[in-house]
Structure 1
Amino acid sequence: MKATWQRIPPTMKGMILLVLAGAMFSCMHGTIRLVSGGPTSTEGLHPFEIAFFRNIFGLVVLLPLLWNVGFSTLRTTRFSLHLTRAVLQVFSMMMFFSALKISPLADATALSFLAPLFATIGAILFLGEKAKIRRWTALAVGFAGALIILRPGFQEISLGLVLVMGASAIWGGAMLIIKSLAKTDSSISIAAYMGILMTPMSLIPALYVWRTPTPEEFVGLFIIGAFGSIGHVMLAQAFKEAEATAILPLDFTRLIWAAIVGYLLFAEVPGLWTWVGGGLIFSAATYVAYRETRQN
């Protein structure tokens, strides 16, 4: 099996890993909705508690990988960046998990494509990156896609989708830090520090809403942690195997996976505007990434 994988061209490896990572994240999101009980349930676990278990079980899943590569991979001279990234991601995770409880999976996934656009805005405002008319146009197209999904004035804007946009904005800031960390630290190290730091951080809000999970819920929580950690490692490895411009178009499969999971588990059928808006946001994010890669 290992020999077969090694014979696959690097770009194809990156494509496969990116698509599989999207499937992992969509399955994780569906499981979060199940464990939280959905929008009308008061019996499921609170999203804050789910976030804590996602981090601790995700770390447990990563331990064999850390053991295999050696714990020396955790050595870093950039601990402050890991810490800042963890703080941002705790807030982003709690907001996004809260949104998943009350929002259709496909809508939440489509709006999450805004994160790279928020990262671009952050790079312009705080890192001094220059933006020409093409970049600004792409940003405008992306946020127009968000308006198409939200359709203010035509439907009531749900709290869940507002939370997704907030989570995407914070995640955009975390993406800038991850991009910097990837230059010096391994993908396993970056994922491990996420679990090591975010577990105690997410425990604090979880204690305020704590309810001891049932055995069935513990299984679901472990699945959430496993899917999340494996997905992040796959995603990081995908971008190490292949150029971003070669594989980014396949990231749109996340929306397809989300639609499939939403339909199978919750009988959700994404509307036309979700696909149109998601397509615009994704196209804008892909173009921004393409221009950035060419400039570098």
Structure 2
Amino acid sequence: MLKDRHPAFLAALWMTGALFSFMAMAVSGRELTAEYTTYQILFFRSVIGVVLIGALVAKTGIEQLRTTRPGAHLVRNIAHFGGQYGWFYGLAWISLAEVIAIEFTTPVWTALLAWLLLGERLTLPRVLAVALGIAGLLLILRPGMGVLHPASLAVLAGAFGYALSYIQTKSLTRTDTPLCILFYMTLMQLPFGMVPSLLDWKSPTLEALPWILVVGVTAMSAHYCMARAFKLADATVVVPMDFMRLPLIALVGYLFYQELIDWYVLAGAALMFSGNLINIRAEQRKAPLRQEIKAHQSPE
């Protein structure tokens, strides 16, 4: 039975679900950008999210939605909405692989923001991860060589928005439940997408409904699967699998959209992956040391 399997094996299964969810979301987003604005796609996504999260809340109890930090939720969701906007906007103009590769700069901005806003130390492995991340980004964008598309900058800004939302999420998890954070995410982002959508509204067609459903459902399933994977296994197991999104989405782009595989993009992503892996391994080596120090400091 699956429950008797090694946790790393189960984590790999959950990450497989996350990878397929992310790929399905990217393809459905690409299909919808041909007919609908980015704001409308985000509005559709939020509507489905409200329904799904509302069903979970109805089952688990509404009391967990109480929060004393509505302002922090608002800041988080403005940043997260900006991240989503940049991601979906990029799907309409640049290759799927480039969108995913630029998105992988999020850990770089997260480390810098954690240093600036939370006072977290920039250790040597973290500095190395940031340096390799920036080097990988420059290799992907190649500024000054005539290959930089404005949509790439939108995705880059989106990655920064995601990083800021992650910092806020870390702060919110000290007081609020994950379901509470997800509930306010879908509820607050609903009007963010609805208001601009009404200015250029286009009613969804029957042909578009399956893609709309896929965008909404996979947005939730991808992050749920990743959360389950991180609960079962170390980051050194989960993160390398997450980076498999890039070659897989490059293959999807090649097969379905005739997108050429850009080796600069793959090489840049490899640099980012190396930096993240170095940082994760350093953090894991420090964890037993922290536990040992804590054990010595605790009264017998």
Settle same-fold status: TM greater than 0.5: yes
| Residue 27 of structure 2: aligned partner | 30
- Out of 4, 7, 12, the position equivalent to 2:9 is 12
The CA deviation string for residues 33-56 of structure 1, in whole angstroms up to 9 with x for no partner, is: 11111xxxxxx1111111111111
Contact 1:30/1:265 (CA < 8 Å) preserved in 2?
no
| Residue 97 of structure 2: aligned partner | 106
Q: Distance in 2 between matches of 1:59 and 1:104?
A: 30
Q: Distance in 1 between matches of 2:102 and 2:57?
A: 33
| Residue 275 of structure 2: aligned partner | 284
1:111/1:260 CA distance change after superposition, 3 Å:
same
TM-score relative to the length of structure 2: 0.87
Contact 1:149/1:274 (CA < 8 Å) preserved in 2?
yes
Unaligned runs of 5+ in 2: 288-300
Contact 1:149/1:273 (CA < 8 Å) preserved in 2?
yes
TM-score relative to the length of structure 1: 0.88
1:274 and 2:272 correspond: no
Q: Distance in 2 between matches of 1:79 and 1:163?
A: 28
Which segment drifts farther, 284-293 or 195-204?
Answer: 284-293
Residue type matched to 1:247 in 2? V
| Residue 149 of structure 2: aligned partner | 158
1:7/1:263 CA distance change after superposition, 3 Å:
same
Task: Give 1:32-47 correspondences, 5 Å limit.
Answer: 32-37=29-34, 44-47=35-38
| Residue 93 of structure 1: aligned partner | 84
| Residue 239 of structure 1: aligned partner | 230
Residue type matched to 1:151 in 2? R
Which segment drifts farther, 131-140 or 25-34?
Answer: 131-140
1:214 and 2:225 correspond: no
Q: Distance in 2 between matches of 1:115 and 1:162?
A: 13
Q: Distance in 1 between matches of 2:46 and 2:282?
A: 34
Unaligned runs of 5+ in 1: 38-43
Q: Distance in 1 between matches of 2:92 and 2:153?
A: 13
Residue type matched to 2:248 in 1? W
SS of equivalent residue, structure 1 residue 120: helix
Q: Distance in 1 between matches of 2:202 and 2:158?
A: 25
Root-mean-square deviation (CA, aligned residues, Å) is 2.1
Residue type matched to 1:128 in 2? G
1:83 and 2:69 correspond: no
SS of equivalent residue, structure 1 residue 215: coil
Q: Distance in 1 between matches of 2:122 and 2:158?
A: 24
Q: CA deviation at 1:292?
A: 4.0
**Percent identity over the alignment?**
30
| Residue 40 of structure 1: aligned partner | none
Aligned length: 287
Contact 2:86/2:156 (CA < 8 Å) preserved in 1?
no
Contact 2:125/2:278 (CA < 8 Å) preserved in 1?
no
The CA deviation string for residues 246-271 of structure 1, in whole angstroms up to 9 with x for no partner, is: 32111111112312322232122321
